[in-house]
């Protein structure tokens, strides 16, 4: 079997489904390099709780050193690429990881196949930043991007279409599909009732930070309910803006129209919130939340500025499985939310989760990677 090294910053929880495909592959021997410490607010998977001693032998732990608040250096990666016996390396394709530049060039000189998996070009790069990133993405044999937009931008800058592929992103696909089927069969009932009314529930899921602009959502719901109650608001998560948002939403909370859950990590609890809500709205950038929501057949809405969006926003088809509104516009959120509920008589949850089954899942990702490797 070919030995393929996988170099990442950490083992993020969301990537477990995809990595399990690699860990238990009978076709290639994948070996992993990452830090066990949380990084930039992203929680790493608890290795001991998820893998036995034999499975853990595939894992090698490194340190991530943050330089000047922007650049990253990973310990031992260069030494590994110089002395290790392997046929290829899959690097996290982020140009601010300085050790990746050096290690990937060394591996190419050794005649190894190099694959970068990452965002590719964002579309807002100019000058020296664009110049350096174009050099960076010329290093690997193949580039895997999370979105069609990123692939298109690389091709427009002269990269080979045959060597640029969209791998998308995924969550806990198998377990989440099992939960979805149980919801559909009525085996899992709604286990929350924060509002006591049957008005549609709008929800936000994620870290409560300023960049997410959740205050815009709260103000939009206040406007929607100005004359009469039309919607309830569920906010799932915690973060630096938690108390500030509760202060802004105090009137809605007092009237029983808004509820904050705080941090929720248990997937079945999150699934229950999502499945039995009516629409996910992310006023700031949206990422994996779009996949999470549509996994349980709940439509998604976010702003229309693709340059300020996560790659997963592409899963949204305007007024099919959600909608887009004008960035930073409460009026646009209000108008489009009303329009959505006027047009949608009944949501077919199985239909809405089709993109998950087609592309945004570990099976698709693994099949693509096998063809490339």
Q: Which whole number is the average pLDDT over 148-168?
A: 97
Q: Which whole number is the average pLDDT over 80-84?
A: 96
Whole-angstrom Cα distance, residue 49 to residue 69? Answer: 32
**Smallest Cα–Cα separation from 275: which of 347, 169, 328?**
347
Q: Which whole number is the average pLDDT over 132-149?
A: 97
Q: Which CATH number fits domain 2-172+359-372: 3.40.50.2000, 3.20.20.70, 3.40.309.10, 3.30.930.10?
A: 3.40.50.2000
Task: Give the CB-side neighbour count of residue 271, counting CA atoms within 13 A.
Answer: 20
173-358 adopts what CATH topology?
Rossmann fold (3.40.50)
In this structure, the number of other CB atoms found within 10 A of the CB of residue 160 comes to 10
Tell me if 104 sits within 8 A of 126, measured CB to CB.
no
What pLDDT score was predicted for residue 197?
87
In this chain, the answer to whether the domains covering 2-172+359-372 and 173-358 adopt an identical fold is yes
Q: Domain map of the chain by residue range?
A: 2-172+359-372, 173-358
Q: For 230-260, how does the pLDDT look when each residue is reduced to its tens digit (9 = 90+)?
A: 999 999 999 999 999 999 999 999 999 999 9
Cβ within 8 Å of residue 53, ≥6 positions away: none
Q: Which whole number is the average pLDDT over 260-284?
A: 97
């Amino acid at each position: 079997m070919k030995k393929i090294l996988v170099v990442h910053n950490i083992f993020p929880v969301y990537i477990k489904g995809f990595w399990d495909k690699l860990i238990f592959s009978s076709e290639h021997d994948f070996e992993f390099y990452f830090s066990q410490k949380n990084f930039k607010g992203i929680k790493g998977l608890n290795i001991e709780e998820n893998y036995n001693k034999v499975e853990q032998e595939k894992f090698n732990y490194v340190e991530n050193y943050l330089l000047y608040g922007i650049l990253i250096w990973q310990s031992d990666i260069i030494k590994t690429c110089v002395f290790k016996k392997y046929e290829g390396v899959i690097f996290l394709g982020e140009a601010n990881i300085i050790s990746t530049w050096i290690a990937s060039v060394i591996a190419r000189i050794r005649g190894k196949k190099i694959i970068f998996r990452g965002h590719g070009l964002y579309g807002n790069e100019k000058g020296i930043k664009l110049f350096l990133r174009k050099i960076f993405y010329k290093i690997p044999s193949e580039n895997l991007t999370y979105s069609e937009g990123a692939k298109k931008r690389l091709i427009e800058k002269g990269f080979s279409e045959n060597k640029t592929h969209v791998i998308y992103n995924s969550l806990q696909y198998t377990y989440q599909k099992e939960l979805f089927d149980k919801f559909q069969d009525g085996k899992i009932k709604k286990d929350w009732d924060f509002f006591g009314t049957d008005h549609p529930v709008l929800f936000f899921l994620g870290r409560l930070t300023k960049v997410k602009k959740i205050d815009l959502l709260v103000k939009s719901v206040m406007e929607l309910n100005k004359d009469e109650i039309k919607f309830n608001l569920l906010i799932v998560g915690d973060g630096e803006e938690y108390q500030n948002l509760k202060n802004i939403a105090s009137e809605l909370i007092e009237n029983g129209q808004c509820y904050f859950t705080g941090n929720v990590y248990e997937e079945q609890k999150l699934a229950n919130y999502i499945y039995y809500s009516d629409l996910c709205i992310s006023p700031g950038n949206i990422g994996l939340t779009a996949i999470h929501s549509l996994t349980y057949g709940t439509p998604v809405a976010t702003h229309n500025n693709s340059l300020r969006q996560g790659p997963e926003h592409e899963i949204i088809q305007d007024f099919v499985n959600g909608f887009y509104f004008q960035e930073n516009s409460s009026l646009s959120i209000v108008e489009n939310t009303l329009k959505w509920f006027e047009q949608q008589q009944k949501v077919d949850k199985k239909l809405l989760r089709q993109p998950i089954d087609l592309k945004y899942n570990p099976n698709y990702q693994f099949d693509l990677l096998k063809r490339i490797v």
